[in-house]
Amino acid sequence: MRSSLSRWLPWAVFALLAAFPLLAPLLGLDYYINFVRRALVFALAAASLNFILGYGGLVALGHMGFVGVGAYTLVALADAGQTSAWLLWPAAMAVAGGMAALIGLVALRTRGVYFIMITLAFAQMLYFVAVALRAYGGDDGYNLMERPQFGLGLDSAHEPTFYWVVLLLFAAAMALLNRATVSRFGHALMGIRDNETRMQAMGFAVFRLRLAAFAMAGALAGLAGALLVSHNSFVSPQLMHWTQSATLVVMVVIGGVGRRWGGPVGAAVWIGLEELVKLHTEYWHLPLGVLLIAIVFLAPKGLASVLERRPARSTPLQEVLP
């Protein structure tokens, strides 16, 4: 029963999300088209973090820095006159992925709490660089004059159209991440997470595998940043502050570290409850903090674990070896 549910539920949710812009006006929920689109963007960012955190064992406390790099790359190119989304979004991915690779060359030489602190330090460096960018508003942020253009007869200013594009990009990114986790690359990454010394002794290029995963996650975070600034038509350095990265980690923990849908589930729950609680009190952090504590004790494997066919496990070496 659970196996069948876990197999078909993602498709059912995708169909429901795809139909939502058509149903929302009929139900008087037009506002929530933008809300769900924002949740999809954060779900993408959380999924990219879950890839290196859950499958690679890399507790990065600066992942939103790459989201910010992607956002500011789009802003810089848009300010220079570029308008095509199919140029701006890949460019944001490339720059964020390149930045992640450069940071990874240094950060991945550390372990444990030192890795956490060095990723935090780099994220704060990126934050202060953004503050210093007076050409793009500095600490006040930057207003994007118009959304990137889709071409192909699609109107990016049409809210449902932009929603469907974001949904398709999210689905494509999740398909990529899911494929990566079941590939030899993903199995090797999990093997390194479980026993780095043994994998290194067996001849695996541990550093290069981790660096590839780190850069891949950074590129997807950059895409999330480009989509977020396209959604908000605004970006500020606050997006890159370490507290935002900590919130992203919390989303992954809520959904389930190392669970296939842990990042998206955690992002949806966090953002949904944040919106709901804000309607009743300005002290919304307290109820969400209580939720996090409850999940840690009652569902330590995350909310997505109830939909998994089997618990997360270590990777047998025969799945990694050729």
pLDDT, tens only, 166-217: 999 999 999 999 999 999 999 999 999 999 999 999 999 999 999 999 999 9
Measured CA to CA in angstroms, residue 206 lies from 103, 118, 215, 313 at distances of: 16, 19, 14, 20
Considering the chain, what is the average pLDDT of its residues? 91
Amino acid at 256: G
Residue 130 has pLDDT above 50, yes or no: yes
Q: Is the model more confident about 229 or about 310?
A: 229
Cβ–Cβ under 8 Å, residues 205 and 88: no
Listed as own residue / partner, the contacts of 160-166 with beta carbons closer than 8 Å and 24 or more positions apart are: 160/21, 160/22, 160/33, 162/37, 162/230, 162/231, 163/20, 163/21, 163/33, 163/36, 163/37, 164/18, 164/21, 165/85, 166/37, 166/40, 166/41, 166/227, 166/231
Q: Which of 58, 47, 85 is nearest to 219 (CA)?
A: 47
Q: What is the largest CA-CA distance in the chain?
A: 61
Three-point CA angle 269, 97, 174, nearest 5°: 40
Question: Looking up tokens 């500020």, which residue turns up?
Answer: 236
- How far is residue 105's CA from residue 12's CA, in Å, rounded to a whole number? 41
pLDDT at 312: 47
Neighbours of 113 (CB within 10 A): 9
- pLDDT, mean of residues 306-310: 61
Amino acid at 166: V
pLDDT at 202: 92
Q: Is the model more confident about 287 or about 190?
A: 190
Residues 6+ apart with CB under 8 A from 322: 184
Locate 210 and state its tokens.
Answer: 């981790």
Q: Is 51 left (phi over 0), alpha (psi -120 to 50) or beta?
A: alpha
Residue 320 has pLDDT above 80, yes or no: no
Q: Is 146 left (phi over 0), alpha (psi -120 to 50) or beta?
A: beta
HEC profile of 226-252: HHHHHHHCEECHHHHCHHHHHHHHHHH
pLDDT, tens only, 8-19: 888 899 999 999
- How far is residue 321's CA from residue 20's CA, in Å, rounded to a whole number? 44
Give the pairing type, strands 234-235 and 142-143. Answer: antiparallel
pLDDT, tens only, 47-103: 999 999 999 999 999 999 999 999 999 999 999 999 999 999 999 999 999 999 999
Q: In the chain, pLDDT over 70 holds for what percent of residues? A: 93
